[in-house]
Chain A
Amino acid sequence: MKTLLASLAALFSAVTFADPPATGERVSFVSCPIVRDTSTVPCWLSEYEGVTYFLTLQTDVSAPVNPPWLGHRVLVEGVVSGEAAICGGRVLKPVALSVMQELDGSCNTMLPAEERYNLTFEPPRPPGPSRGRLAFGDPAPKGDATSAGSAPRDFTLQYEFDGLVVFRHAQTLQKILEAARATHAAEIRITGFRSASKLSNGRVMREREPIARERAEQIRTLLQGAGLDGVRYTIEVKDLSKRPNGADDAGRRRAEVSLVMPN
């Protein structure tokens, strides 16, 4: 009996009270997002293996990390930071968030504001009107016309898991368009990547098989749709889904665009 109890205790301990991840450790999991209100802007949290993680704050469209959506699970890929907890959650920084496309009505937790979870700093943007600027600058500033000499030639678009172009890519696409016009690019080489994500529990999530081609072809279609004709488009695809490492999986979900100048 003692042996049985000891075994059960050990099992219970291993499953329920696994050591929380140390600072610097990577965590990857799929879970429901949670909204916690505060006296200013809401926090976005998620729980995994008994630990509450802080994902991000509500800010505005210019934010480098955008909050997920209730009604959907979210793929969280981040590094545990040593920063003080925010809204009761251990901070992940950097963190990549991918909203899972299928609906999940069980992801519906909104927590009320509590004094103990209020922010100890002023958020980049209040919940109402701004003070005259976006929290992280204009996502697509006008007036800085690209010149041929200064125009970048290489661009990267990062995607959510299984994702294609969304609102945040408008800025990069605009830059590609302006640079291609300024430099009179002869060719645009587009490489679409497919990736996979290795979760902390060992499971591997692979993106849809055709996603690499879809990403590359969509960029071509969008640039053509914006009027970028008279240039040769070259499409390549690369499948990186075989060897996810749980380290830079999010960064592999991308497309690369290179402008090739005329001879």
Chain B
Amino acid sequence: MSVSVEMIRRRWEETQGKDPLFASVDGMDCPHLPPADPKSHSLLLDRGLFRIFLPWPPKAVDGSNLDPEFTLEVVRDPTGCNLHPQFGLHSANPMVSVYRRPRPVANLKYVTHQGFGVFAFIGKNGLPASRDPETGLPSGMNLLSDARQPTLKTQAIEAAVTHLQFDGKLDDERLQRIVDFERQIHVAQIRHAAGDLMETGGPPGLGVRNVAGGREGLLGNNITNYVIPLGGPWKGNAMRESITRGHDVYMFRTFWIRDAMHLNTVGLGNPTKRTCATCHGMHMMGMDVANGWMDIGTTNLPWAREEPLNPWNSNKTRLPLFKITCKPKVPPHPFLGRVIYTQDPGRALISGKCNDVGTIVMQQLRGLSARAPYFSNGSAGTLRELVDFYDRRFNIGYTDQEREDLINFLSAL
């Protein structure tokens, strides 16, 4: 369950913008803008982005202020929210507004697994993992793009207050019903040019029945489980053969991964010669099997999508831009130095850590075709743009055939 820009626009037309989806608190570029005007909802209508507002400085679990390792300045504020006297950084209740795609509410047994890679200490930095307040068990921290909520229940509590503006408190019974509902939803592509993905005897990694029945908490970056097992070459038509080749591109086509925070810093070296499945390694999901935030440059400059300005271009940059300056008391960011420009500081807005700037929790790859645009800031409008980002970022040099095959593979998930 997710939402595409196409669905958002249709809902706008059907309700003249009165659907709760377009609530001023998060469905507008900023709540102070005129209601019922499509321009006030431009990021949602054009890129499927909701406003996420987070306290600055960040708060610890006990509500106290953290002392962030960096200072944060607003360089560009196209929505007017980050410098707004009521909603911005310098308001009485200082907030940072960033704009993000919602995460799919589906396949949650995988997203919240307690298997491989989930420990009391995060395998990527040694710091304590957040914990389930009810059980004390460590969380894989893969629910939200900044890992700020450890469980489905705590996420529901936060969403009720922020997104729904619920004035009360969800009781335990309601919370449990929400979680039970969410946990029964499984999503995967079922129709495709390759044929019916639900047919008996099809690839064991495709189709929603296989997703619902799959084993969670497994590392799939190996040739025993595979990330998305196809069970051998899928034959029958040209598209199936392309998907099989795309699977092999995903699993085996090496390239140099360089300057990616929380990937190159976790023992693999910088650069490391690896494949898509190195990071997108969770069996059946293609997300990270461990705590999965890293920076591949989707929000941090110089890699984030920023069209150079020129006198002939009427396009305006739509997302805010922040200047992050790491304080002298901490080491510089290993790959970006002490000054970082970013559209969204990501996990750093929660942890306050310099080396978390622009790190985003990677998400599952299921149902991709139905939920464009991609990346947390919606900067890739199609699967082609998504693959092209990686190609540019890591100088992969895909051939046309490899690119097409990889896109076909991703579209079948």
Chain A contacts for B258, CB-based, 8 A: 70
**Bound Cα distance A67, B268 (Å):** 6
Contact check, A226 vs B268: say whether CB atoms are below 8 A apart.
Answer: no
Pick the interface stretch among B31-39, B124-132, B174-182, B386-394.
B124-132
The complex places the Cα of A16 from the Cα of B277 at a distance, in Å, of 46
- In the assembled complex, how far is the CB of residue A165 from the closest CB belonging to chain B, in whole angstroms? 4
A68 CA / B272 CA spacing, docked (Å): 10
Q: In the complex, which residues 30-79 of chain A have their Cβ closer than 8 Å to any Cβ of chain B? A: 35, 37, 41-42, 44, 58, 60-63, 66-72
Kindly specify which of A88-96, A122-130, A184-192, A255-263 makes contact with the partner chain.
A122-130
Is B254's CB under 8 angstroms from A127's CB?
Answer: yes
Q: Which residues of B contact A166 (CB under 8 A)?
A: 125-126, 265
Tally inter-chain residue pairs, CB-CB below 8 A. Answer: 137
| B269–A170 touching, CB < 8 Å | no
A61 to B128 Cα, complex, angstroms:
18
B156 to chain A, nearest CB (A): 23
A101 touches B (CB below 8 Å): yes
Are A170 and B123 within 8 A (Cβ)? Answer: yes
Instruction: State the CA gap A72–B336 with chains docked (Å).
Output: 12
Question: Does A206 lie at the interface of the complex (its beta carbon under 8 Å from any beta carbon of B)?
Answer: no
A132 touches B (CB below 8 Å) = yes
Please measure, in the bound complex, the distance between the C-alpha atom of A139 and the C-alpha atom of B219, giving whole angstroms.
14
* A-contacting residues, B203-254, CB 8 Å: 221-226, 251-252, 254
Q: Is the CB of B119 within 8 A of A72?
A: no
Q: How many residues of B contact A (CB 8 A)?
A: 45
Query: Within the complex, which residue of A41, A128, A225 is in contact with B128, where a contact is CB–CB below 8 Å?
Result: A225
Nearest CB on B from A203, distance (A): 22
- Count A-side interface residues using an 8 Å CB cutoff: 45
Q: Is B42 an interface residue (CB 8 A)?
A: no
A71:B127 contact, CB within 8 angstroms = no
> A58 to B334, alpha carbons, bound, how many Å?
19
Instruction: Determine if A227 and B131 form an interchain contact, defined as CB atoms under 8 angstroms apart.
Output: yes
- Residues B120 and A177 in contact, CB atoms below 8 Å apart: yes
Closest to A169 in B: B126
* Residues of chain B with a CB closer than 8 A to A128's CB: 251-252, 254, 274-275, 277-278
Q: Which of B123, B125, B273 contacts A58 (CB 8 A)?
A: B273
Given A127-B274, A227-B120: A44 in contact with B269 (beta carbons within 8 A)? yes
Q: Are A58 and B124 in contact (CB under 8 A)?
A: no
Q: Which residue of chain B has its CB nearest to the CB of A72?
A: B334
Q: Given known contacts A129-B223, A165-B126, is B268 in contact with A60 (CB within 8 Å)?
A: yes
CA distance A142 to B267 in the complex (A): 20
In the complex, the answer to whether B121 meets A170 with C-beta atoms within 8 Å is yes
Q: With a CB–CB cut-off of 8 A, which chain B residues contact A121?
A: none
Whole-angstrom distance between the Cβ of A83 and the nearest chain B Cβ: 21
Contact with B along A205-228 (1 / 0, CB 8 A): 000000000000000001001110
Tell me how far the C-beta of A215 lies from the nearest C-beta in chain B, rounded to whole angstroms: 12
Q: Which residues of B contact A102 (CB under 8 A)?
A: 331-332
Q: Are A129 and B251 in contact (CB under 8 A)?
A: yes
For the complex, give the distance between the alpha carbons of A168 and B266 in Å: 8
Q: A129-B221, A129-B277 are in contact. Are A70 and B126 (CB under 8 A)?
A: no
A130 engages B266 (CB within 8 Å):
no
Digitize B293-319: 1 where CB-to-A-CB distance is under 8 Å, 0 elsewhere: 000000000000000000000000000
Question: Which residues of B from 110 to 155 have beta carbons under 8 Å from A?
Answer: 119-129, 131, 136, 138
A130's partner among B119, B126, B138, B222 (CB-CB below 8 A) is: B222
Determine if B166 is an interface residue (Cβ-Cβ < 8 Å).
Answer: no
B362 to A: closest C-beta gap in Å? 17
Question: Chain A's nearest CB lies how many Å from the CB of B7?
Answer: 36
List the B side residues contacting A60 at CB < 8 Å: 267-268
Residues of B with C-beta under 8 A to A169: 121, 126
Complex Cα distance A121/B119, Å? 34
Asked whether, in the complex, the Cβ of A129 is within 8 Å of the Cβ of B252, the reply is yes
Q: Which residue of A lies closest to B227 (CB)?
A: A129
Asked whether, in the complex, the Cβ of B120 is within 8 Å of the Cβ of A132, the reply is no
For residue A103, CB closer than 8 A to chain B, the reply is yes
Complex CA–CA separation, A58 to B259 (angstroms): 16
Supply 17 A–B pairs (Cβ within 8 Å), ascending by A: A67-B268, A69-B269, A69-B334, A71-B334, A127-B273, A129-B226, A130-B222, A131-B224, A133-B222, A165-B125, A165-B126, A166-B265, A167-B267, A173-B121, A174-B120, A226-B120, A226-B131
B-to-A contact residues, CB < 8 Å? 119-129, 131, 136, 138, 221-226, 251-252, 254, 256, 258-259, 264-275, 277-278, 331-332, 334-335, 337
Which 4 pairs between the two chains have the least Cβ-Cβ distance?
A: A67-B269, A225-B128, A69-B270, A132-B224
Known pairs A61-B266, A69-B334, A128-B275. 17 more at Cβ < 8 A? A42-B272, A61-B268, A70-B271, A102-B332, A103-B335, A110-B271, A127-B273, A127-B275, A128-B274, A128-B277, A131-B224, A139-B123, A140-B123, A167-B265, A168-B267, A170-B121, A177-B120
